[in-house]
Structure 1
Amino acid sequence: MLELYQFELSQFSEKVRLILDYKGLEYKKIEVTPGIGQLEVFKLSGQRQVPVLKDGDIFIADSTEIALYLDSKYPEKPLIPAEGISRGQCLLMEEWADDSLGLKGRKAFMGALNHYPNFRTSFLPKNTPDIFKTFVSAFPSEIFNAIGMGLTLGNDIFKTAEKGLKKDLEALTLILQSQPYLIGDKPTLADFTVAALTTIIKFPPVAYFDLPLDLEGKGIPGIADNSAYEPFFTWRDRLYAEYRQPVDKSSSSNFNDGSGDSQPTSIEIE
């Protein structure tokens, strides 16, 4: 069975999970813990970031390399057009999404946690005591600036990321007005990359993340609730409904089919 070394809330781990589900491949999720877990990943793959896919004795790091490997090893339901303009467009859009859309999404997400106390507390478990919710809501923004995922979360950085995201979502919405997918009439790697990387901008309305949090439908204020981008998120959620396997939150899951007993933790993300 394929094994995916991952971080549950990593956009790039989600990209690989979406691709694996689309191809109908059974896999086991291995949640990597900080410190010792990262050292183990380094021993296996030569680097500490996730995702890393294990197929037999082969280890593949980086979400793009994993996608290329899966398309070569398991060619049924291909991710990348075989040739021509469509292939070039697919590869170009996937690289853009990884390098630009993903980074702006993380900055905007962390910036929203920093600047919107209600958004911050919405990610706390339902049974969180009110006194702790009040403490988290009042947590000084400067602390988030210091600890936030290695990113500077000042107002200028947040606003720049937010502005860039709005331009990107406008462009994606325009592309999807006249065609069912980003590159023609079939889903490609470009679609799955864009879909996965936008989950933290607005989480799908169905549980796809195996976490003890209710993330469904939550999103960055001013973007997730902007009606101008509703067609894009409707498209993204339809793609998820067709190809991604939901998580059964009634039992802890470490497999894509709902079995297993390992709890997600955290690690560096790609």
Structure 2
Amino acid sequence: MLVLHTFGPAFGLPDLSPFVLKTMIQLKMAGLPFEVRTGSLGRAPKGKLPFLQDGDTVVADSTFIRWHIERTRGIDLDAGLSAAQRGQAWALEKMLDDHLYWLAMHNRWLEPGNFERGPKVFLQSVLPGPLKWFVPGLVQGKFRRTLQLQGIGRHTDEERAALVRRDIEALAQVLGDKPCLMGDQPTAVDAMAAAGVMTGLLPEFTGPIRDTLLQQPRLLAYAQRMQARFFPEIGQLPGCPEVLKAA
């Protein structure tokens, strides 16, 4: 049995991490049963989640998890795509993984209201004793330094908002009127896109990401389709009443 180590459910979603949700969706796309366990960053091979246990093999990082299950199970999550489409899907996924993600982390961790409603609440719910009172601030400081080094933290609020709009508009333009990003059926890139939109819509995190998503009815409908297909147990996508009204 595959075992996926995650942060755990939060704010109505199976996990708050888009990378955890991405991996969950890709495992479901592949039709592979798996067990979910709440993990520990201290025990994670690369100090981050998710990571996958497959017998005696441990695989860290969502991309390497995907490649592992494809290689060992003879699965191709991009089956049916041309070489050009595979290249386009990979480029789009990296925009989401390595650009929009960091914009989301800045919005989540460094905007005071969002931090108080989101990461601080989550960490205080899982940390024991006195740790819950000082660890959230330490983690926030780590994100501040990381985002400064990464570059997103050096931009103004207006510049970050412009980058958010460009990324989300690009995603909506690629989707168009199709059910999924690359056609009628979901492929690997849909896992990250769905995860990013679902976490971006959480009402706990106000700002340009949620505001821009609420102006994209095609992406809202897409997120609802992906949630209904891969996480039907949720019942309703968090933020859905406002989403439906906006759409």
Instruction: Note whether the superposition's TM-score is higher than 0.5.
Output: yes
Instruction: Pick the structure with more helix per residue.
Output: 2
User: Corresponding residue for 1:181?
Assistant: 180
- The secondary structure found in structure 2 opposite 1:198 is helix
Corresponding residue of 1:135: none
- Cα distance change, pair 159–201 in 1 and its aligned pair in 2 (3 A): farther
- Look up the match of 1:63: 62
Gaps of 5+ in 2: 9-15, 123-135, 148-152, 236-247
Q: How does 1:32-71 map to 2 (within 5 A)?
A: 32-34=39-41, 38=42, 40-42=43-45, 47-71=46-70
Preserved contact between residue 71 and residue 79 of structure 1 (Cα < 8 Å): yes
Distance 1:111 1:2 in 2: 35
Q: Secondary structure at the match of 1:29?
A: strand
Q: How many residues align?
A: 207
Corresponding residue number in structure 1 for 2:140: 147
| One-letter amino acid of the counterpart of residue 106, structure 1 | M
Superposition deviation, residue 11 in structure 1: 1.9
1:30 alignment partner, one of 26, 37, 43: 37
Q: Confirm or deny that 1:242 pairs with 2:241.
A: no
Partner of 1:13: 20
Deviation at 1:121, TM superposition (A): 4.1
1:198 is matched with 197
Cα distance change on mapping 1:151 and 1:160 into 2, 3 Å: farther
Offset at residue 145 of structure 1 (A): 10
Judge conservation of contact 1:109–1:201 (CA < 8 Å) in 2. no
> Counterparts of 1:247 and 1:150 in 2: how far apart (Å)?
29
List gaps (5 residues or longer) in structure 1. Answer: 126-142, 204-216, 249-270
Give the superposition deviation at 1:180.
Answer: 2.2
Which runs of structure 2 are paired with 1:119-268 in the superposition (5 Å)? 120-121=116-117, 147-151=140-144, 156-203=155-202, 218-226=204-212, 227-246=214-233
Whose radius of gyration is greater, 1 or 2? Answer: 1
Q: CA deviation at 1:230?
A: 3.1
Provide the rounded CA distance (Å) in 2 between the counterparts of 1:100 and 1:225.
18
Higher relative contact order (CA 8 A, sep 6+): 1
- 2:59–2:65 Cα contact (<8 Å) kept: yes
Give the counterpart letter for 2:84 in structure 1: I
Of all paired residues, the percent bearing the same amino acid is: 25
Relative to the length of structure 1, the TM-score reads: 0.64
1:96-127 Cα distance to aligned partner (Å, 9 max, x none): 22111211111122344x2x47x8448859xx
